[in-house]
Structure formats: C-alpha cells, structure tokens
Amino acid sequence: MFDYLESKIHDECGVFAVYSRDEDMDVVADTYYGLYALQHRGQESCGIAVNEDGVIRSHKDLGLVNEVFTPEVIRRLGKGQMALGHCRYAPYKDRTRSSSQPMLVRHIKGTMALAFNGQLTNAVELREELELKGGIFHTTSDIEVIAYAITRARLNAGSIQEAVETAVDRLTGAYSLVVMSPRKIVAARDPQGIRPLCLGKIGGSDVIASESCAIHAAGGEFVRDIAPGEIVVIDEEGVHSIAHACGQKTGLCVFEYVYFARPDSVVDGASVHRARRRAGAFLALEHPVQADVVIGAPDSGLDAALGYAQQSGIPY
C-alpha cells in the first residue's frame, strides 16, 4: 500500500547561497556556517556547490554538516566567487546520496546547481509529462523535476532568470528555490509564500538564506524577506528584483513559527521567539489550568511555555 506520509511529506529543508565581490571572502566557509545554523531544518544530508570562474564543483553526502564537510573536503572544494548549500530532511525511504542537494546539471547551454525547500503538488504530473518526452529520472526528489523544467525552458530563453520565470509558472505548491549558474544566482519564492526565504549582506556580498539566523551565523546582516512570488537575481551589477507572481493571496506555513524555524530568526517581519511566546500566552487565556509548573518540550516549545507561564502566573 502506498504510504503518502512516508513518501511525500519532506519539505523541511534549508538553503543558503552567497555571491561574493570580495576576493578575500571564503564563500565555502560562509556557506558552511550558514548550513550549520540551518541544521535544525534537515539532518539527513547536506551539500555545497562552489562556483569558481564559471566552473561549478560540488560535494554532498548523508550526514550532518560537520560530519560531511571535514577540513579535507572543504580544502578540496577550494575558493570561488559563489556558493550554494543545502541541508535536507527526507523520509526514511528517500535517504540516499543521489537525492541529496544541491543538484548539479550540465546541459547544452552550460552548468547550473539547484537547491530548494518545499513540496510540489503537481510533481507527479510534471514528471510523467517529462518522462513521456524522453526525460530520465535518477531520484524521487522534486528538485529533479524542477531541474528538467528549468533546463527545457533555458533552451529557448535568453538568460537563466528568463528560464526560471518560465519554469516556475508550471510549478504549484510550496517552494523556496535557488539556482546558481556560471555567472548568477537566481532565487524564487512560491506565490503563496508558504516557505520562507530572505536576503542579506556580508560586507559587499549578497546572501540568500531560508532563515535570517543563517545570515547572522555567517557574519552578515539581514536585509529583507523575499516576497511571495518574487524572483531575485544576483550578478556582478548587484541585486535585481522581478515581481513575477506577486499580489496573490499569501499564507506562510504556520509550522514555521510553531516548529520549523529557529527562535532567533525573523520570518516575514515577525520574530519567531516573540510569536511563540505570544502563542503560549494566548493558550493560557483560552485554556487555563490548575498546575504547579509549566515545562516546554521539545526545544521549540520552550518559548511558548515561557509565554504560558508569564500569562498564567504558574512558575516556569
């Protein structure tokens, strides 16, 4: 019997990308620190792709960030001007190295690396359509479907951002997508803004991350959230915004505030720590109890427990 929950629900991942204009900046190290800060979003596998003068090389494997990226692996990745990282949560049946990200694609128009956090609701239909046109899939991950869609669009598009614009029109569901080409980084957020994605800076360099905590961990500063439906292009001239599918009804997944995000992150303008404390306070108002002590569990429940204790007067 097909187990839908085991096979399909796997959208808690973290993405991080950096475009450097500083020759002394170590983009691999910054990406490592960013992924380490996003480790709570995925512990099954991780990977980093680094772009040095248009040549993209990568390393990915099963395991935690500090296990996969040993000093020797980081040394082999070398230096570069851009890097893209990903840490992945996956169901047990899909915990394979081949399904790890970033995915590296070499096609007639060049090379690109892709990583995303989310879940496509039309992945099965798109996959079947691509297979009937000769597409060969090696993984069960939605990122391979996205890679095919962008690659096919790139054949007739004048740039990678045009290809991404065309491809995302065919995607439905939740996604925060980052694509690294030989010269650009392109990030896209789904029109409903279900998954978070934000923009930051490290000195004169630009950063894309799932959460603001990753930008701070890499020594940068948070600039703003990427809007639902927005496509952001980062190149040698700076940051460019394309309001591709903005203006639709939005709805961030409530579990970002309840469970997924780190408490020191700011998601869509709201502090996760404050949101959890307020949730605990509202719970105390709506469901008062006679108790001796308030305890939070797991760690994501600590802030809510503190809010409950403060509102109810029960010791924390």
Q: How confident is the model at residue 137 (pLDDT cuts 50, 70, 90)?
A: confident
Going by C-beta distance under 8 Å and a sequence separation of 6 or more, which residues neighbour residue 46? 35, 60, 61, 63, 64, 65, 68, 69, 85, 86, 87, 88, 100
CA distance 218 to 47: 17
User: Which of 13, 46, 87, 198 is labelled catalytic?
Assistant: 13
Q: How many domains does the chain have?
A: 2
Q: Tell me the C-alpha distance between 29 and 177, whole Å.
A: 21
> Do 109 and 51 fall into the same domain?
yes
Same domain flag for 275 and 233: no
Same domain for 82 and 38: yes
Q: Are residues 161 and 281 in the same domain?
A: no
Q: Is residue 254 part of a domain?
A: no
Contact (CB, 8 A) for 50 and 58: yes
Assess if residue 250 is contained within a domain. Answer: no
**Residues 232, 280 within the same domain:** no
Residue pLDDT, tens place only, 147-166: 999 999 999 999 999 999 99
Query: What is the distance of C-alpha 233 from the center of its chain?
Result: 16
Q: Which residues contact 163 (CB under 8 A, 6 or more apart)?
A: 150, 151, 153, 154, 157
252 occurs within a structural domain: no
Residues 20 and 48: beta-carbon distance below 8 Å:
no
The answer as to whether 264 is a domain residue is: no
Percentage of residues of the chain with pLDDT beyond 90 = 81
Considering the domain architecture, whether residues 275 and 234 belong to the same structural domain is answered as: no
Q: Which domain holds residue 283?
A: 269-312
- What tens digit of pLDDT does each residue of 199-247 get? 999 998 999 999 999 999 999 999 999 999 999 999 999 999 997 766 6
Q: How far is CA 88 from CA 134, 145, 288, in A?
A: 28, 17, 38
Tell me: do 300 and 214 sit in the same domain. Answer: no
Q: With a cut of 50, say whether residue 2 has pLDDT above it.
A: no
pLDDT, residue 246, reads 65
Task: Give the CATH number for residue 39.
Answer: 3.60.20.10
For 165-201, how does the pLDDT look when each residue is reduced to its tens digit (9 = 90+)?
Answer: 999 999 999 999 999 999 999 999 999 999 999 999 9
Sheet containing 55-62, strands listed edge to edge, beginning at the edge strand earlier in sequence: 55-62, 45-52, 82-88, 14-19, 205-209, 198-202, 221-225
Based on the domain organization, do 108 and 199 belong to the same domain? Answer: yes
Same-domain check for residues 227 and 80 = yes
Reply yes or no on whether 13 is catalytic: yes
